Amino acid sequence: MTDSWWKKSVVYQIYPRSFADADGDGMGDLRGVIDHLDHLAELGVDVLWLSPVHPSPQDDNGYDISDYQDIEPLFGTLEIFDELLAGAHARNMKIIMDLVVNHSSDEHRWFQESRSSTDNPKRDWYWWRPARPGMEPGAPGAEPTNWGSVFGGPAWEFDEKTGEYYLHLFSKKQPDLNWENPEVRQAVHAMMRWWLDRGVDGFRMDVINMISKDVSLPDGRLTAGSAYADGSAAFIGGPRLHEFLQEMHREVFEGRDGLLTVGEMPGVTVDEAVLHTDPVRHEVDMVFQFDHVWVDRGPDPWLLVPLRLTALKAILGRWQAGLADVGWNSLYWNNHDQPRVVSRYGDDGPAHRAASAKMLGTVLHLHRGTPYVYQGEELGMTNYPFGGIDEFRDIEALGQYRQAVELEGRTPEEVLTVLRARGRDNARTPMQWDDSPHGGFTTGTPWLPVNPNHAEINAKAQRADPGSVFHYYRRLIELRKTEPAVADGDFTMLLPHDERVYAFTRRLGSTELLVIGNFSGVEAHAAIDGWDGAELLLTNLEPPAGGPHLAPWQAVVYRRSV
């Protein structure tokens, strides 16, 4: 993986069921993606990351895969996928697939065989365990460990047919694959090679740092008020993770050029990320870390914590410094699991929405690393105005609501307040293409309602407006390709204790860039000396009066020779 073309690239994530519906059934599909490739080409992105498009019961919106080597009929066919691949390649865009191999669907033939009997050859392809010693199988508390599932409830499901439990860190319809079994790894490697041979350009690897478990499966730490324990110490960055990733590189990627591999790794540390992304170790090109999107969470998950800009700077600065010499950063605000950043860290009101969306994009894209744009981010799409729990569709939100209200005694409004602000469905409302009914997403009834603000916020209007968020993102992406300091320059954080202003420099040779963003709705002054007379390279508002004196949510980028 010495080919580092991705340092100058920008990746665009497509959540297919919410991107564009070409056949009017209310669900996005691959033909809808094909129909909008020119939008993505005009934006200037280099790589398209497709969230899962494989056959699936859709318990977790496709992250529960029942066949790794086909296309979900709701989305299309393999032939349509090949057409999408060709269309993207013709526009000089690559496509990476979502690789979901910590777990499969319980409807996958592998699991169907595994659960059929205790002596089936595939029994050991998943994590099966008996009840706790001395307890009745299936009784409350008899689960092999006290772990909780990410989606609420226990992480073990009792299977009456064989009298044992299987592990599912997520939904009970997402049983965890047992990577200790070499046959599992060989089957996964063969599947990956099959997609690469078809022309796919790499993979984003879902929760890939959970594939190695502590085989002793110890109980986790139970905190007061929680129904189940956090077992992550036994499955985050497990004992054989590096070995498994290096084997994957050797068996799948070695000898192939021009690919991109990204590992989603909740809980990963900077030191671990250096090891994972060091090119000489042959693991992955970059990782997704979560520190900066957990900065507004407190010890109580049902209490909203306002953003402290100094905390955000400390986190991103630590990652910039930690991967300065070895490895590489991924840069993102949004994805299918995160609320809309303009509603989270910006201001989604009509007065400042566009400016804050542009400022957030500026600060992110000018860091050292590869930026990711999530569908609609380039328009400044906002969170949805959810009412009651009946308006949510996400299995995580529904499961956590049920556990918090029924088992932990939280009030419904207490839980809903957090879900409205942080719930994953905020990212999954359909893409807003125009001001027609359902935002041009579908001619039918959308699977999730389109945000009512699509009449004002939509791609058609923004492509026609040179001052829009869309065209500002185009300029940000173009800057990465035309100014080498953006991709290759070093990074120095400035004003680390300022609670309003985010400022840093990027330097490559004799070129230095100064990036400043005002993370507030009031005017701010950035006291940075030595930049008088520097070239104003980019700003989202009228040029600052001097100093620079920044308007609310203003971003500026200066360039000078040193």
Catalytic (active-site) positions: 206, 264
User: Please, what is the angle between helix 309-322 and helix 270-277, to 10°?
Assistant: 40
The distance of Cα 562 from the centroid of its chain, to the nearest Å, equals: 37
* DSSP three-state, residue 549: strand
- DSSP structure class, residue 438: G
Rounded CA gap, 557 and 478, in Å? Answer: 14
* DSSP three-state, residue 304: strand
- DSSP structure class, residue 237: S
Token pair listed for 349: 């009101």
Token pair listed for 539: 């700003």
Neighbour-count burial of 141, counting CB atoms closer than 10 A to its CB (0-12 exposed, 13-18 middle, 19+ buried): exposed
Residues 6 or more apart whose Cβ sits within 8 Å of residue 265: 207, 208, 209, 237, 272, 273, 276, 287, 288, 289
Q: CB neighbours (10 Å) of residue 85?
A: 20
Residues 6 or more apart whose Cβ sits within 8 Å of residue 427: 15, 334, 335, 336, 337, 338, 339, 340, 374
Rounded CA gap, 233 and 236, in Å? Answer: 6
Rounded CA gap, 292 and 332, in Å? Answer: 9
Rounded CA gap, 58 and 105, in Å? Answer: 9
- DSSP structure class, residue 496: T
Rounded CA gap, 291 and 182, in Å? Answer: 33
